[in-house]
Structure 1
Amino acid sequence: MSTKTKRMSAEEKRKVITGLYHTSKDVYTEKEIVSLATKAGVNANSIIDINQSLCDDNLVDTEKIGGSKYFWSFPAKADRMRQLEHEETVRKIEVLGKGIVEAEVKLADAKRGREEEEDGGNGDGAEEGEKPMTRAAKMARRSELAKSVAEKTAELDKLKENDPQAIADLEKELKLVTEAATRWTDNVFACQEYMVKKRGMVKKEVNKMIGITDAFDYPDSK
């Protein structure tokens, strides 16, 4: 009759050894866990290394008392680790969500400046007279962007239990939004410089006209 031990993958061995701890909820010496795992079908030569890998991953606790090392792992520990991982994922999503909202706000400010610059160049040398007339259009655009921000915020709330792929997609979206906000910020500053240097306006008045403050800056400078 064959007494060969069934071949197991490293992950299967980890599950068997973890199961021994969780089933008994007891504390073992290294010699005891080797004996139990061997009886459970794990190759004896690999048990010490597998057990150590579980310790390295914080799935098994260990303590040296006197000349012996003791090992234990309770089911509640694995549950707590999964809870902590979930909380960390939620935290990252919230941070990304705040970044997107801030980027959208800056993008709205930048687009208002761009609209003013473009609309101001359509007249027959009367750019200054036409700029105030674009205010209503700019405010309408701001309302649209504010609505978009609200929708994205609601969408983020639904993503709090999503998988890592959703987080990766969100990071890509944040990068694109930030790049767009940077381009529009360039446009706002170009418009500001044009009206100050070419039209002789006071910078403070220009800022008030285009709806920005002295704190207005590039997204990645905050």
Structure 2
Amino acid sequence: MSKKGLSLDEKKIKMLEIFHETKDFYQLKELEKIAPKSKGIVQQSVKDVLDDLKGDGLVDFDKIGTSNYFWSFPSAAGAIKKAKLEKDQAELQALTTKLEELEASYSAELCGREDNPERADLLAQLASLTTTSTQLKVELEAYGAADPIKMETKRQAIELAKEACVLWTAAIQITLRSCTSC
């Protein structure tokens, strides 16, 4: 029966345990030797786990000369968690305030919308007029070819085409006259 490997989260927890138990600085090579023996983290995944922990801000990293050193202290992890908690609490407070404002605004909007016969009549009239407007727009689309604005645009286009024909005809006649005299 084979032993199941550790998930990434489990590896991250175990790697942090190495740092927090010893409260020491390590190079990557040292961690690649220590992690498999003491915590069961596969040597090939130590670098990936460290990169994830650095990205999460749980492990600090510094390059001193040609060596890279990694460390993490329990107090630093607690400070990070405390800062995140304070940020989340501030966000919660802001969202709670916004929710209260929206609820007050909603209540204010409902004040003029009580159901009464006059409002019901006005809503029915609005629905009727909206339906009528929609029907008239459909009917207007059906008569789109006879639209006065479209007709005027077509008339202007016809006049322009007529003037262009006269000019071309005159130009052709002049050209023919000059060619026949040659």
Q: Higher relative contact order by CA 8 Å / sep ≥ 6: 1 or 2? A: 1
Asked if the contact 1:5–1:43 (Cα under 8 Å) also holds between the matched residues in 2, the reply is no
Superposition deviation, residue 23 in structure 1: 0.5
SS of residue paired to 1:64: strand
State the match for 1:96 in structure 2.
95
Structure 2: distance between partners of 1:69 and 1:5? 33
Q: Name which of 7, 16, 20 aligns with 1:9.
A: 7
Equivalent residue letter for 2:69: Y
| TM-score normalised to structure 1 length | 0.47
State the match for 2:147 in structure 1.
none
In our comparison, the structure showing a higher alpha carbon Rg is: 2
Equivalent residue letter for 1:82: K
Find out whether 1:121 has 2:126 as its counterpart: no
- Cα deviations across residues 128-182 of structure 1 (Å, max 9, x unaligned)? xxxxxxxxxxxxxxxxxxxxxxxxxxxxxxxxxxxxxxxxxxxxxxxxxxxxxxx
State the match for 1:69 in structure 2.
68
Matches within 5 A, 1:2-151: 7-40=5-38, 41-115=40-114, 121=118
Structure 1: distance between partners of 2:14 and 2:57? 16
SS of residue paired to 1:71: strand
State the match for 1:210 in structure 2.
none
State the match for 1:212 in structure 2.
none
Percent identity over paired residues: 32
Structure 1: distance between partners of 2:18 and 2:45? 16
Structure 1, gaps ≥5 residues long: 123-186, 188-222
State the match for 1:145 in structure 2.
none
SS of residue paired to 2:57: coil
When residues 6 and 43 of structure 1 are mapped into structure 2, their CA distance, relative to the original with a 3 A threshold, is: farther
Superposition deviation, residue 58 in structure 1: 1.0
Structure 2: distance between partners of 1:62 and 1:43? 21
Asked if the contact 1:5–1:42 (Cα under 8 Å) also holds between the matched residues in 2, the reply is no
Superposition deviation, residue 89 in structure 1: 2.1
When residues 6 and 35 of structure 1 are mapped into structure 2, their CA distance, relative to the original with a 3 A threshold, is: farther
Equivalent residue letter for 2:79: R
Structure 2: distance between partners of 1:26 and 1:60? 12
State the match for 2:155 in structure 1.
none
SS of residue paired to 1:121: helix
Superposition deviation, residue 20 in structure 1: 0.6
SS of residue paired to 1:28: coil
Structure 2: distance between partners of 1:24 and 1:92? 36
Superposition deviation, residue 100 in structure 1: 1.7
Cα RMSD, aligned residues only: 2.6
Structure 2, gaps ≥5 residues long: 124-182
Superposition deviation, residue 120 in structure 1: 8.4
Superposition deviation, residue 85 in structure 1: 2.3
